[in-house]
Amino acid sequence: MNERQKILLVDDEPDLVQLVSLRLEKSGYEVEAAYDGQQALEKVRQSKPSLIILDLMLPKLDGYKVCRLLKFDERYKKVPVLIFTARAQEQDIRLAMDCGADAYLTKPFEAKALLDKVAELLSAGRALA
């Protein structure tokens, strides 16, 4: 399979979206961005990404709701969701996992940790398909 895997990056901070998008694209991924929870759901339906990187604190719909809606939808429940947030409290992590998140990474982040987690989730997702 030679086509680039598509990642939907959902965050309301344009500078962060640009920075992370560049890192991911440099690693060979196709990246699409959404800046709020509602837009994230629309883009998932349109572009069917291989992976979703999702912030928790978003306008319109928060990341918890977005994750739960996707994981309880038969069409999207197998798409890995990586929560990517500044919220590092134990209850935030637990709630995200209860919503169906596949992994949790806190900001500030190391680029290598993010890229390693993305690769790990995508290879696990491919094994499930």
Mean pLDDT of successive 10-residue segments in the chain (129 residues)? 81 97 97 98 96 97 97 95 95 96 94 95 73
At 1 the pLDDT is 38
* β strands within the chain, DSSP E: 6-10, 30-34, 51-54, 81-85, 103-106
Report yes or no on whether pTM surpasses 0.85: yes
Dist. CA 23–CA 114, nearest whole Å: 9
Report all structural domains of the chain as residue ranges with CATH numbers, in order of start: 6-128 (3.40.50.2300)
**pLDDT of the residue at 125:** 67
